[in-house]
């Protein structure tokens, strides 16, 4: 049988890719590893790709062709795509790719690969400015994953249909198109179609059948999928964390379940997305640089005026009621990490229960086990509160919209409210803005936009109960405490 030209090229290209296992590809096609520094970490955080290139990278012409061909799934253009999935756009330069997306030119295939980095999830907009390290409260990773898999499962998602459109898009936009590009696109389509018909969908940002809603994710379920552990209820829904407090922590995750080398722990996300342990260890300077950068990120200052006298009174209340768990912030920061048992904190238990013995056992072996360990805990870590004013909604699962609501008895907190889309931020209540309504005697937030997503505290993994500390303060003391928290 005589091979066609594209088949010969494909055999060459992906035979060469197979050399990754021997390390040859690394030496011929990887950029030199950086010197460890916070500056290099900032570059990786915002401007350079992370992840396993052939597991998480998409040929850019193919991505743009899919955007045009499937507007009902992806929006049809960049602005609608960003609005649909809660992705930020750079306020100062609309010509850039959306925040968190970068192009990596692959010298082997002659094509730019569309990839992502930390800033996709760990940057948010505050007062018109992008704040690095703040969890993106609008990002909908699982919805994006579902759209990609829906496209890949369509009968017309074939190389025959997409390759000509991808080439036309590349020519129209002046994009890179090398001799190996057609083979790369064919292979990407093949892999996506295979994943769409299996349960191997975690690579693209979600788990089949789960939807955490804006600003949340299921990291435990990612880990289970990658470690070949059964994924099932209860699910560990958690909001995208703020990471400028990472340098004060001794462990990682809201339950303190990841311990060991805190730089290598940053690579847990990439491991879950398909990067091999050998590649993670080889790229150690990247994780160390990102860790150095995270330790330098500062929380933004509250943008409105603060009643300093009231805040001073609030500082005294905080010292008496909150500092033992959350730290001290007058002068030098004093914070000692602890795990508050579930029966004491009383918040939603599903994130703890999701950390199964099978997952812990699966992570005990392998080349990363000596540097990073996973364990079960019986509670949640009270986080440092730097920049707490902009970190709403609150609790590990994002079930309480404002700090004002956190100081209410759990029975008086809203049982539902709306997030994502064009939801505003309330600088007075401090958290997600909502117009208050009632269903019977239950407080709720009203929907005011079709782009909003309903958050119901009655859903599994979304309870707003617990953390009753401070709920018995007088209204005056609550106001003072709230004013103080704005200063952190």
Domain assignment present for 201 = yes
> Which run of H or of E encompasses 425?
strand 425-426
pLDDT at 360: 92
- Indicate the residue among 151, 182, 205 that finishes a domain: 205
Q: Average pLDDT in the 380-390 region? A: 97
Asked whether residue 200 falls in the same domain as residue 312, the answer is no
E strand map for 117-192: 123-126, 129-132
pLDDT at 205: 56
**Residue 406 pLDDT grade (very low, low, confident, very high; cuts 50, 70, 90):** very high
pLDDT at 33: 76
The Cα 116–Cα 60 span in angstroms is: 12
pTM above 0.85, yes or no: yes
The Cα 136–Cα 365 span in angstroms is: 33
The Cα 58–Cα 352 span in angstroms is: 34
Q: Average pLDDT in the 304-328 region? A: 97
CB contact at 8 A, 206 and 141 = yes
Over the stretch 210-224, which tens digit does the pLDDT of each residue have?
889 999 999 899 888
Q: Which domain holds residue 464?
A: 308-336+383-485
Q: Average pLDDT in the 30-52 region? A: 87
The Cα 150–Cα 197 span in angstroms is: 10
pLDDT at 440: 86
Domain assignment present for 274 = no
Domain assignment present for 261 = no
**Residue 203 pLDDT grade (very low, low, confident, very high; cuts 50, 70, 90):** low
pLDDT at 28: 44
Over the stretch 58-107, which tens digit does the pLDDT of each residue have?
999 999 999 999 999 999 999 999 999 999 999 877 778 999 999 999 98
pLDDT at 215: 96
Domain assignment present for 269 = no
Over the stretch 416-474, which tens digit does the pLDDT of each residue have?
999 999 899 999 999 999 999 988 889 999 998 999 999 999 999 999 999 999 999 99
Domain assignment present for 374 = no
CB contact at 8 A, 132 and 122 = yes
Asked whether residue 22 falls in the same domain as residue 162, the answer is yes
Asked whether residue 185 falls in the same domain as residue 324, the answer is no
pLDDT at 444: 94
**Residue 13 pLDDT grade (very low, low, confident, very high; cuts 50, 70, 90):** very low
Q: How many CB atoms lie within 10 A of CB 422?
A: 11
The Cα 94–Cα 173 span in angstroms is: 16
Domain assignment present for 452 = yes
Q: How far does Cα 454 stand from its chain's mean position?
A: 20
Instruction: Tally the domains of the chain.
Output: 2
The Cα 171–Cα 364 span in angstroms is: 49
Q: Is residue 27's pLDDT more than 60? A: no
pLDDT at 363: 86
**Helix (H/G/I), strand (E/B), else coil: 210:** coil
The Cα 391–Cα 135 span in angstroms is: 7
CB contact at 8 A, 249 and 295 = no
Over the stretch 409-423, which tens digit does the pLDDT of each residue have?
999 999 999 999 989
| Burial group, residue 133, by CB count within 10 angstroms (0-12, 13-18, 19+) | buried
pLDDT at 367: 74
| C-alpha torsion 222→225→230→231, nearest 10 | 40
- Indicate the residue among 205, 221, 242 that finishes a domain: 205
pLDDT at 31: 65
- Extract the tokens encoding 281: 């260890």
Alpha-carbon distance values, 345 to 18, 333, 466 (Å): 50, 24, 6
* pLDDT above 70 coverage of the chain, percent: 92
Q: Is residue 285's pLDDT more than 80? A: yes
Nearest to 126 by CA among 386, 426, 443: 426
**According to the per-residue pLDDT averaged within each range, which of 28-32, 197-201, 363-367 is highest?**
363-367
Q: Is residue 299's pLDDT more than 90? A: yes
Positive or negative CA dihedral for 309, 311, 313, 315?
negative
Those residues whose C-beta lies under 8 Å from the C-beta of residue 76, and which sit 6 or more positions away, are 67, 68
Q: Is residue 6's pLDDT more than 60? A: no
- Extract the tokens encoding 127: 């007062």
- Indicate the residue among 205, 223, 254 that finishes a domain: 205
pLDDT at 443: 93
Q: Is residue 199's pLDDT more than 50? A: yes
**Helix (H/G/I), strand (E/B), else coil: 131:** strand
pLDDT at 9: 45
pLDDT at 93: 78
Domain assignment present for 40 = no
Over the stretch 96-147, which tens digit does the pLDDT of each residue have?
899 999 999 998 889 999 999 999 999 999 888 899 999 999 999 989 988 9
Positive or negative CA dihedral for 455, 461, 462, 463?
positive
**Residue 228 pLDDT grade (very low, low, confident, very high; cuts 50, 70, 90):** confident
> Which run of H or of E encompasses 263?
helix 262-265
Positive or negative CA dihedral for 27, 28, 30, 36?
positive
pLDDT at 370: 86
**Residue 273 pLDDT grade (very low, low, confident, very high; cuts 50, 70, 90):** confident
pLDDT at 226: 82
| C-alpha torsion 39→41→47→49, nearest 10 | 150
Nearest to 51 by CA among 266, 260, 199: 266
> Which run of H or of E encompasses 445?
strand 442-446
pLDDT at 202: 56
Asked whether residue 319 falls in the same domain as residue 194, the answer is no
CA angle 445, 449, 453 (to 5 degrees): 65
Q: Output the DSSP codes for 402-447.
A: BHHHHTS-GGGS-SEEEESTT--EETTTTEE--EEEEETTEEEEE-
Q: Is residue 24's pLDDT more than 50? A: no
pLDDT at 222: 86
- Extract the tokens encoding 468: 């009753």
Phi/psi at 256 (nearest 5 deg)? 65, 30
Domain assignment present for 145 = yes
């Amino acid at each position: 049988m005589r091979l066609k030209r594209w088949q010969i090229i494909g055999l060459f290209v992906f035979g060469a890719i197979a050399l990754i296992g021997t390390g040859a590809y690394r030496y011929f096609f990887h950029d030199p590893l950086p010197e460890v520094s916070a500056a290099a970490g900032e570059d990786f955080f915002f401007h350079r790709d992370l992840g396993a290139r052939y597991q998480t990278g998409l040929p850019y012409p193919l991505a743009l062709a899919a955007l045009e061909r499937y507007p009902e799934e992806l929006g049809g253009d960049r602005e609608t795509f960003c609005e649909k999935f809660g992705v930020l756009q750079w306020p100062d330069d609309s010509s850039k790719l959306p925040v968190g997306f970068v192009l990596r030119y692959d010298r082997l295939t002659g094509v730019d690969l569309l990839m992502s980095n930390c800033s996709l999830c760990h940057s948010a907009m505050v007062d018109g400015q992008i704040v690095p390290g703040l969890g993106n409260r609008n990002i909908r990773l699982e919805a994006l994953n579902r759209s990609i898999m829906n496209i890949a499962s369509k009968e017309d998602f074939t190389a025959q249909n997409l390759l000509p459109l991808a080439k036309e898009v590349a020519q129209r936009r002046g994009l890179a198109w090398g001799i190996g590009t057609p083979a790369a696109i064919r292979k990407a389509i093949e892999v996506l179609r295979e994943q769409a018909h299996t349960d191997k969908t975690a690579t693209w940002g979600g788990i089949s059948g789960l939807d955490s809603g804006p600003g949340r994710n299921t990291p435990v379920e990612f880990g289970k999928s990658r470690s070949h552990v059964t994924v099932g209820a209860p699910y560990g829904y958690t909001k995208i964390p703020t990471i400028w407090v990472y340098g004060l922590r001794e462990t990682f995750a809201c339950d303190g379940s990841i311990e060991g080398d805190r730089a290598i722990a940053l690579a847990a996300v990439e491991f879950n997305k398909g990067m091999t342990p050998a590649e993670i260890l080889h790229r150690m300077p990247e994780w160390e640089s990102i860790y150095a950068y995270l330790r330098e990120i500062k929380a933004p200052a509250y943008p409105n005026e603060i009643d300093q006298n009231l805040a001073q009174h609030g500082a005294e209340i905080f010292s008496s009621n909150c500092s033992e768990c959350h730290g001290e912030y007058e002068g030098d920061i004093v914070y000692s990490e602890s795990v508050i048992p579930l029966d004491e904190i009383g918040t939603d238990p599903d994130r703890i229960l999701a950390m199964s013995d099978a997952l812990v056992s699966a992570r005990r072996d392998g080349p990363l086990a000596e540097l990073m360990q996973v364990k079960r805990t019986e509670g949640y870590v009270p986080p440092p509160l730097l920049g707490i004013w902009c970190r709403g909604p609150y609790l590990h699962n994002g079930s309480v919209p404002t700090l004002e609501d956190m100081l209410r008895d759990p029975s008086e907190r809203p049982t539902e409210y709306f997030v994502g889309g064009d939801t505003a931020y309330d600088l007075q209540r401090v958290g997600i803005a909502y117009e208050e309504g009632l269903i019977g005697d239950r407080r709720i937030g009203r929907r005011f936009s079709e782009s909003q997503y309903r958050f119901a505290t009655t859903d599994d993994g979304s309870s707003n109960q617990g953390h009753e500390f401070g709920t018995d303060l007088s209204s005056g003391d609550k106001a003072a405490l709230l004013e103080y928290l704005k200063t952190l």
